[in-house]
A = this chain, B = another copy of it.
Amino acid sequence: MIQSTMQDFPLSVAAILRHGARVYGHSECVTWTGGGTPKRATFAEVAANAERLAAALTRLGVRPGHRVATFQWNDQEHLEAYFAVPAMGAVLHTLNIRLFPEQLSHIINHADDQVVIVDDSLVPLLARVVHELPAVEAFVVVGDGDAAPLERNGNGAPVLRYHDLLAAEEPGFAWPEVDERAAACMCYTSGTTGDPKGVVYSHRSTFLHAMAVQSASLVGITEADRVLAIVPMFHVNAWGLPYGAFLSGATLHMPGPFMQAEHLTAFIEAERSTLASAVPTIWNAILAHGERHELDLSSLRSGTSGGAAAPRVLLERFEERYGLRIIQGWGMTETSPLGGMAFPPPGVEPGTAEDVDWRMKSGRIAAGVEMRIVDADGAELPWDGEAVGEIEVRGPWITGAYHRDPAPEKFHDGWLRTGDIGTIDDLGFYQITDRVKDVIKSGGEWISSVELENHLMAHPAIAEAAVIGIPDARWDERPLACVVLRPDASATAAELAEFLGDKVARWQVPENWTFIDEIPKTTVGKWDKKPLRARHAEAELKVERVEKS
Instruction: Give me the interface of A with B, judged by CB distance under 8 Å.
Output: 1-9, 11, 15, 18-19, 22-26, 64-65, 67, 91, 112, 181-184, 186, 198-202, 204-205, 208, 211-212, 214-217, 220-224, 247-249, 345-346, 364-365, 367-368, 370, 383, 394-403, 414, 416, 426-428
Contact = CB atoms under 8 A, between A and B. Distances in A.
B367 A214 contact: yes
Contact of A248 (B19, B217, B400): B217
A202 B215 CA distance: 21
A367 B43 CA distance: 15
Contact of A183 (B3, B7, B199, B397): B3
A275 to B, nearest CB: 11
Nearest to A202: B4
Nearest to A182: B4
Given A8-B400, A223-B217, A370 B201 contact: no
Given A4-B205, A5-B403, A214-B215, 15 more contacts: A1-B65, A2-B65, A3-B200, A4-B204, A5-B399, A6-B396, A6-B397, A6-B398, A7-B396, A9-B394, A23-B367, A24-B428, A211-B215, A216-B222, A248-B367
A7 B222 contact: no
B7 A395 contact: yes
Given A211-B212, A216-B215, A223-B345, A6 B204 contact: yes
A399 B2 CA distance: 15
9 contacts: A5-B200, A6-B200, A6-B205, A9-B398, A11-B208, A23-B428, A26-B426, A216-B221, A220-B220
A414 B2 CA distance: 21
- Residue from A7, A22, A181, A182 whose CB has the most chain B CB atoms within 10 Å: A7
A88 to B, nearest CB: 14
A116 to B, nearest CB: 16
B211 A222 contact: no
Contacts of A201: 4, 6
A253 to B, nearest CB: 15
A8 B397 CA distance: 9
Given A201-B6, A223-B346, A395-B9, A364 B217 contact: no
- Residue from A9, A399, A416 whose CB has the most chain B CB atoms within 10 Å: A9
A313 to B, nearest CB: 28
Contacts of A247: 367
B426 A370 contact: no
Contacts of A248: 215-217, 367
A428 B22 contact: yes
A177 to B, nearest CB: 10
Given A2-B65, A223-B346, A370-B15, A7 B394 contact: yes
Contacts of A222: 216-217, 346
A197 to B, nearest CB: 9
Nearest to A247: B367
Nearest to A22: B428
B401 A5 contact: yes
Nearest to A2: B183
A15 B15 CA distance: 25
Contacts of A223: 217, 345-346
Contact of A202 (B6, B208, B224, B401): B6
A380 to B, nearest CB: 12
B65 A22 contact: no
A399 B216 contact: no
A364 B200 CA distance: 33
Nearest to A219: B216
A22 B15 CA distance: 32
Contacts of A394: 7, 9
